[in-house]
Amino acid sequence: MNITRLALSAILTTFLLMSAVLPAAAQDEKSPMSEQKTLVQVLQDRDQFSALVNAVEKAELTNTLETDGPFTVLAPTNDAFAALDDSVESMSAEKLRALLRNHLLSGSVSSSQAVTAGRAQTLQGDTLSIEQSGESVMIENATVVTPDIKAENGVIHVVDAVLMSSEDAAGSMSSKK
C-alpha cells in the first residue's frame, strides 16, 4: 500500500512539473518571432553598421526601413564606407539616398535565391550582377561576408564594399584603392 501511494505521488509530481514546464517551453519557441526586430533595429544592434545607420538616418530612410517592406538590404560594413573617397558626413542627403537605394532590393531575397536569379534590380533602378565564386557570393564588386540575417521586414546580407550606382561609377564618387 505504501509503495502504491509512493508511486502515485511520483507520477502526480511528474505530471505537475511537466504541466508547468511545457507551456513555458512552448512560449519560448514563440518568443523569437514576437520579439523579432526590424531591419533598422538589427543594423543598430551591430557596431559594424554604425556608418550605414548614420547614412540611413541622414538620407531619411529610417522610417521606410522600420515600417515598410519586405526589403533586402545589402549592408556595407564600416570598413566598406571608410574605403570611399567621400565620407557619409560630407554627402548630401539626396546623394546618400541614391547610394543607399542601390543597396536595397524589393522583397525578401535569400542569398540562394539571388545566386539562382543571377541579377537583381535595386530600388535605385540599377541592375546588379550576382554570382557564386567558390564558397562566396559576389554582388558586383562586393563579397557577401554574412548572408541571410533575418529581420521582421526583410533580410540583410553583409557586404564588404559599397555598391556604386551607374551614375557614381561614372565618376561622381569612387572608392579608395
Same domain, 131 and 154: yes
Same domain, 13 and 74: no
Query: Structurally, how many domains does the chain consist of?
Result: 2
Whether residue 92 is contained in a domain is answered as yes
Whether residue 177 is contained in a domain is answered as no
CA separation for the pair 154, 65 (Å, rounded): 9
* Per-residue model confidence (pLDDT) at position 2: 57
CA separation for the pair 102, 95 (Å, rounded): 11
Same domain, 11 and 80: no
Contacts of 66 (CB under 8 A, 6+ apart): 38, 39, 40, 41, 153
Spatial strand order in the sheet of 71-76: 104-106, 71-76, 154-159, 142-151, 136-139, 127-133, 119-121
Same domain, 105 and 155: yes
The domain containing residue 28 runs over which residues? 1-35
**Sequential pLDDT tens for the chain (177 residues):** 555 554 445 444 444 444 444 444 444 443 344 358 999 999 999 999 999 999 999 999 999 999 888 999 999 999 999 999 888 889 999 999 999 999 999 999 999 999 999 999 999 999 999 999 899 999 999 999 999 999 999 999 999 999 987 665 444 444 444
Same domain, 85 and 21: no
Task: Give the Cβ contact number of residue 78 at 10 Å.
Answer: 17
CA separation for the pair 79, 111 (Å, rounded): 22
